[in-house]
Amino acid sequence: MIQQQLRQLLPEMKVDASAALTLLGSSVAALVVWKWLGKKMIQKKMEEAQRTRDEGMKKMAKAVQQFREQVPSVQTDAILSLPLLELTGRLQEGSLSPRTVLYTYVEKALEVTQQTNCLRHFIPECEEQLQEIQRHKEKGLLYGIPVSIKDHIGHKGHLATCGLVQCLGTLMEEDSVLVKVLKRQGAIPFAMTNVPQSLFSYDCSNPIFGRTSNPFNPQKSPGGSSGGEGALIAGGGSILGIGSDMGGSIRLPSSFCGLCGLKPTAERLSLSGVTGPVNGILAVPCALGPMARDVDSLALCMKALLCQEMFQLDPAVPPIPFNEEVYSSSAPLRVGYYDTDGYFPLPPCMRRAVKETRRALQAAGHQLVPFSPPRVPYVMTELFLKTFFADGGRAWLDVLTGNIVDPVLKPLVNSCKFPRLVKKLLALLLKPLFPRLADYLSVFAGMRSVKEMWNHHHQIQVYRSQFITQWRELQLDVVLCPILGPAFTKGYPGKLLTAISSTMLYNVLNFPAGVVPVSTVTEADEEELKLYKGCCDDPWDRALKQVWEVVEQRLLVGAQAVSGAVGMPVAVQCVALPWQEELCLRFMKEVETLSRDKRVA
């Protein structure tokens, strides 16, 4: 009886097994087709974005040509050489027209982006803004000044991509508050600049718009994530730009490209209308700030932005106008200084820059006091990285889902993809040999509870309090310290995320910090580099030495034929307490003046 029933069932089972195999094969085929279609869709979106950008470039090139035909006598080089303060004066008095200045900079920006790929696209509405500023009853502080803005700072009718495919279909419905205030002050936003994919890199490359190069050498990175701004301004294609900074993204491009840049206290300028790949990270806040060729330009920009218009549009911004008296002061300063943070020893040229600047400040009558930032390795791993990877990197990986991952990000993506247990085990095994790598992997395991996150936020508050206490015990006004540099070879920033300890510290603290170029790499620096050992003799130290051995060769090809060829820019970092941007800028101005006097002498 049972055997008979089995015989009756067997044919059905054969049919079911056959059907199952057919279904499985169909499912696999469907999955392959689905993935193929997905990649085709991604490629189509990317090609459309690239085509739109190229068409925009052609339109602006045509507009420049028409302007040239109408006004053939424009002295381009003379206009481009004017400092911002002098240019604003010429525009205010009417000896230069906003139209002439705009098309002069558009023409130069076209040239610079051909060399560096720094532009995401032009803003065609800049021509409408030309007409709009003529209707203003009063000329704003930035009347007629062309301004470039970073990719993710919202401008009505345009994308804010963050270098991500999923952001290509959504246009901003209105201007960000910062763009509104710029326009109210008479500025003309004319271009949006390129960024690394997801903004989480200090290189500058994404699969949609490609890689941006350093204007001083195409093999070098301009820094990031405001790398497009750095390349455009350093190349002469913009006189003033707005970037953002969450770990050094204004200061690192400024260092790599020889610019001045300011990261204010995060809440000093409005973030309303600025997009980001992962929202809700508040423990280490993002800040918007200006980038330019000199400190006076940064000060003018901050003065223009810190106005009633901004305070009314965004009540969350403290209504603190720019304090001109503090910026213009000449009183001697009590300056804390250090040339290493004890986590990532910087190359000889960057430490030399601090020492030379310290001596110049001392000779100018300022009081210099040794200062040592406490527990920087702890801050880097336990406070900074743990903030961004509290979930083990899941939110960030989700953002990259459906994207072609840029090669610069692959080392970080791979670290995040390990299961939590694997991260912990690897960290345990590596701890005796490579403690920094072990701490790095351990952080990527993420947090396990809300209580742990609350405690993490509390530890940031505790550290800030301890840092300020140490600052006040020494009665400091400001601090002079190193900045990462000189410019890295392309691709290396992706391998060395934790090399940004010099900048991330002041994001965790939420202190205003700025960068000023003071020197260039010398032959003596290169000789000293041969003795560089780092602090841990781990893969990061060896990778850093490889970077700097390449960087510190003579880089400006055109200058090789000239005796005493110029090297890459070398900068220092200037820091003040929260809400003291004017004091930070005043200190930066002092450093800039002394370094220029030294070069002239």
* pLDDT tens per residue across span 493-505: 888 888 899 999 9
The reported pLDDT for the residue numbered 564 is 25
> What is the per-residue burial (b if ≥16 Cβ within 10 Å, else e) of 559-593?
eeeeeeebbbbbbbbbbbbbbbbbbbbbbbbbbbe
Q: 249 an active-site residue? A: yes
Paired with 479 in beta bridges are 336, 575
Choice among 221, 225, 254, 442 that is catalytic: 225
The one catalytic residue among 205, 213, 226, 249: 249
What pLDDT shows up at residue 536?
60
Quick one: pLDDT at residue 88? 99
Please give the pLDDT value at position 10.
45
Token pair 């490889």 is found at 546
In degrees and rounded to multiples of 5, residue 211 shows phi and psi of -100, 135
Compute the average pLDDT of residues 364-393: 96
Determine the Cα–Cα distance for residues 473 and 452; give it in Å rounded to an integer: 31
Give the domain ranges of the chain.
41-312
Model confidence at 554: pLDDT above 60: no
393 vs 601, residue with greater confidence: 393
Q: What is the pLDDT of residues 357-366, one digit of tens each?
A: 999 999 999 9
Question: Does residue 189 carry a pLDDT above 60?
Answer: yes
pLDDT digit string, tens, across residues 259-316: 999 999 999 999 999 999 998 999 999 999 999 999 999 999 999 999 999 999 999 9
What pLDDT is recorded for position 498?
Answer: 80
pLDDT at 433: 82
pLDDT given at position 402: 80
Query: What pLDDT does 515 receive?
Result: 99
pLDDT band at 551 (very low <50, low <70, confident <90, very high): very low
Question: What is the C-alpha to C-alpha distance for residues 48 and 70, in angstroms, rounded to an integer?
Answer: 33
Q: Are 211 and 242 in contact (CB under 8 A)?
A: no
Q: Residues 555, 216: contact at Cβ < 8 Å?
A: yes
Token digits for 30? 């469907």
For residue 363, give the nearest of 595, 526, 145, 132 by alpha carbon.
Answer: 595
Q: Between residues 41 and 252, which one has the greater pLDDT?
A: 252
Q: What share of the chain is helix, strand, coil (3-state, %, to 5)?
A: 55, 10, 35
How many other β-carbons are positioned within 10 Å of the β-carbon of residue 280? Answer: 6
pLDDT of residue 534: 64
| Burial class, 371, CB count within 10 angstroms (exposed 0-12 / middle 13-18 / buried 19+) | middle
Select the more confidently predicted residue: 15 or 102: 102
Q: Which fold, 41-312?
A: Amidase signature (AS) enzymes (3.90.1300)
Across the range 97-109, mean pLDDT stands at 98
Q: How high is the mean pLDDT of the chain?
A: 90
Residue 6 predicted with pLDDT over 60: no
Each residue's pLDDT tens digit, 564-595: 224 899 999 999 999 999 999 999 999 999 99
Residues of the chain with pLDDT > 90, as a percent, come to: 75
Q: Which candidate in 108, 150, 183, 386 is catalytic?
A: 150
Q: Tell me, yes or no, if 213 is annotated catalytic.
A: no
Predicted pLDDT at 537:
60
Query: Is the link from the previous residue into 225 a cis peptide, with omega within 30 of 0?
Result: yes
pLDDT of residue 560: 25
Share of the chain above pLDDT 70, in %: 87
The answer on pLDDT for 12 being more than 90 is no
Each residue's pLDDT tens digit, 77-87: 999 999 999 99
Torsion sign, CA atoms 595, 596, 599, 600: negative
- Cα→Cα distances 453→382, 383, 416, 458, 586, Å: 11, 11, 19, 9, 37
Mean pLDDT of the region 420-445: 88
Going by pLDDT thresholds of 50, 70 and 90, the confidence category of residue 20 is low
Binned at pLDDT 50, 70 and 90, residue 558 comes out as very low
Distance CA 361, CA 582 (A): 18
